[in-house]
C-alpha cells in the first residue's frame, strides 16, 4: 500500500513539474537598426526572455521574405546557444556557426557579412529549445524591414540650376551605394519641362514627361534618344533618376533643373569641354565621333605619357595603347581616336594615362557617333 502511494505521489510530482515547465514563458524580441544599410549579421540582433528557472539550450531559425513578391530571399539557422533565466541580448558572434540558404538570383552579395538588397521585407524568427530529443518551438516573432541604399543616385551633369549651350547634353550621375547591394542595377530616366511659377518637385510630379527611359545599365544617357523631343532654347527642364534592382524599386535621386541658353546653341567641337582626369572613379562622360578632349596635369618633366584604353564590359576587344606628347604643367589635349581604331558605340571604356614614375590618372567614357 505504501509503495502504491509512493508511486502515485511520484507520478503526481512529475505531472505537476511538467505543467510548471510547459507553462514557462519564452519570448524573442528582434532589435534591428532603425535605418541605414542592413548587413546580414544585423538580422541576428535580438533579445530572448525566459521564465524558466534554469538555463536551456536553443537555436534560432529566421526567414526573410520579399513583401512585394512574397518569395523567400534567404533563410538561416544559428548555432546552439545557452538561454539563461531572465533576459539575454544576443548578436551574430554569439550564434556561430550560422548557416544560410539563398534563393537563386535574389542576392548579389553571398558573403556572411554582406548587405541585403534594397527592398521591403518580412523577417520571421523562430526560437527552438533543444533540451529534448526533438526540437521544441518555444517562441516566434515577425517584423517588417525596409532596406535602403546608404546613398541614392547622385546627379552630376547638367549641374543643378545651370545654363547649358548643348542642345543634346549627356546626362550623367553616380550609382547608389553600396553597389554590392544590387544584383541587377538599372535606372529609369525622367525629363520634364518646368513651366513658369512651378517648383522642380511640383513639375516632376504633375507635368507630362518629354522623355522617359528605362533599364539603363550605365549611369549616363546621351540626349535625345529615340522619339525624344528636342530641347528648346530658353526653356527650363527638370530631371530625375530612379535606381532599381531588377524591377524592384531601390532609390531615387534629387530633382535637378537646367536651362538651355536662349541666344545660340553651339554644337561644334569648340563647345565640348575638356575632361579633367583623376585618381578616383568618376561618372562616365560621352565623347562624340571619337574625339577625346582631356585635361592633364604633368607635375614632372615627362615629354610623353603612356595612354591605354580598355573596355569595362565583357568583350574580346583588345586594349588600345599609344603615347601622348605632353609638356610640363597643365595640358589641354584633343586627340582623334579614329586614327587608332573605331570604338564600339555606347560601350563603356576607360582611358588611363601613366607617367614615367608609374603614377596614373583615368576617366571613363562612352563613345557616340553622329554618322556611321
Q: What is the pLDDT of residue 195?
A: 84
Neighbours of 70 (CB within 10 A): 8
DSSP state at residue 210: S
Residue 269 has pLDDT above 70, yes or no: no
The Cα 192–Cα 205 span in angstroms is: 9
What's the grid cell of residue 15?
505531472
pLDDT band at 226 (very low <50, low <70, confident <90, very high): low
Q: For the chain, give the percent of residues with pLDDT over 70.
A: 87
Q: What is the pLDDT of residue 5?
A: 52
Q: What is the pLDDT of residue 316?
A: 83
Mean pLDDT, range 284-301, rounded to an integer: 88
Q: Are 248 and 229 in contact (CB under 8 A)?
A: no
Q: Are 163 and 169 in contact (CB under 8 A)?
A: no
Residue 13 has pLDDT above 90, yes or no: no
Residue 305 has pLDDT above 90, yes or no: yes
Q: Are 108 and 147 in contact (CB under 8 A)?
A: no
pLDDT band at 372 (very low <50, low <70, confident <90, very high): very low
Q: Are strands 275-276 and 26-30 parallel, antiparallel or unpaired?
A: unpaired
State the average pLDDT for the chain. 84
What's the grid cell of residue 234?
530658353
Q: Are strands 154-157 and 119-129 parallel, antiparallel or unpaired?
A: unpaired
Helix extents (H) in the chain: 2-23, 200-206
**Cα-Cα-Cα-Cα dihedral sign, residues 4, 9, 10, 16:** positive
Chain-centroid distance, C-alpha 63: 22
The Cα 111–Cα 74 span in angstroms is: 12
**Cα-Cα-Cα-Cα dihedral sign, residues 358, 364, 367, 368:** negative
Would the pTM of this model clear 0.75, i.e. be above it? no
**Which pLDDT tens digit goes with each residue over 189-211?**
999 998 877 778 788 888 888 88
The Cα 140–Cα 307 span in angstroms is: 61
The Cα 139–Cα 124 span in angstroms is: 11
SS3 at position 174: strand
More confident residue, 242 or 184: 242
Q: Are 120 and 146 in contact (CB under 8 A)?
A: yes
**Which pLDDT tens digit goes with each residue over 61-79?**
999 998 888 889 889 999 9
What's the grid cell of residue 366?
562612352
DSSP state at residue 224: P
The Cα 301–Cα 355 span in angstroms is: 10
Amino acid at each position: 500500500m505504501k509503495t502504491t502511494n509512493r508511486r502515485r505521489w511520484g507520478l503526481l510530482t512529475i505531472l505537476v513539474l511538467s505543467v510548471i515547465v510547459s507553462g514557462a514563458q519564452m519570448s524573442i524580441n528582434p532589435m534591428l537598426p532603425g535605418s541605414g544599410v542592413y548587413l546580414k549579421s544585423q538580422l541576428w540582433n535580438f533579445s530572448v526572455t525566459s521564465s524558466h528557472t534554469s538555463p536551456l539550450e536553443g537555436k534560432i531559425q529566421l526567414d526573410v521574405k520579399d513583401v512585394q513578391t512574397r518569395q523567400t530571399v534567404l533563410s538561416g539557422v544559428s548555432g546552439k546557444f545557452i538561454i539563461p533565466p531572465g533576459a539575454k541580448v544576443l548578436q551574430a558572434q554569439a550564434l556561430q556557426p550560422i548557416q544560410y540558404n539563398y534563393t537563386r538570383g535574389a542576392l548579389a552579395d553571398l558573403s556572411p557579412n554582406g548587405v541585403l538588397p534594397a527592398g521591403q521585407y518580412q523577417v520571421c524568427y523562430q526560437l527552438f529549445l533543444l533540451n529534448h530529443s526533438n526540437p521544441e518551438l518555444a517562441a516566434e516573432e515577425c517584423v517588417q524591414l525596409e532596406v535602403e541604399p546608404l546613398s541614392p543616385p547622385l546627379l552630376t551633369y547638367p549641374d543643378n540650376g545651370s545654363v547649358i549651350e548643348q542642345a543634346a547634353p549627356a546626362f550623367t550621375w553616380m550609382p547608389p551605394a553600396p553597389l554590392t547591394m544590387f544584383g541587377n542595377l538599372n535606372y529609369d530616366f525622367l525629363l520634364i519641362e518646368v513651366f513658369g511659377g512651378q517648383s522642380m518637385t511640383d513639375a516632376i510630379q504633375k507635368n507630362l514627361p518629354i522623355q522617359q527611359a528605362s533599364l539603363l545599365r550605365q549611369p549616363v544617357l546621351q540626349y535625345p534618344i529615340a522619339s525624344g523631343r528636342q530641347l528648346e532654347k530658353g526653356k527650363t527642364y527638370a530631371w530625375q533618376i530612379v535606381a532599381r534592382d531588377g524591377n524592384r524599386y531601390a532609390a531615387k535621386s534629387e530633382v535637378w533643373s537646367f536651362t538651355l541658353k536662349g541666344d545660340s546653341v553651339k554644337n561644334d567641337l569648340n563647345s565640348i569641354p575638356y575632361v579633367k582626369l583623376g585618381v578616383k572613379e568618376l561618372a562616365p562622360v560621352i565623347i562624340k565621333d571619337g574625339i577625346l578632349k582631356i585635361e592633364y596635369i604633368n607635375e614632372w618633366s615627362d615629354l610623353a605619357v603612356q595612354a591605354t584604353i580598355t573596355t569595362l564590359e565583357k568583350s574580346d576587344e583588345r586594349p588600345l595603347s599609344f603615347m601622348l606628347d605632353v609638356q610640363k604643367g597643365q595640358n589641354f589635349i584633343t586627340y582623334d581616336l579614329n586614327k587608332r581604331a573605331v570604338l564600339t558605340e555606347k560601350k563603356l571604356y576607360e582611358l588611363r594615362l601613366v607617367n614615367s614614375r608609374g603614377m596614373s590618372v583615368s576617366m571613363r567614357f562612352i563613345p557616340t557617333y553622329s554618322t556611321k
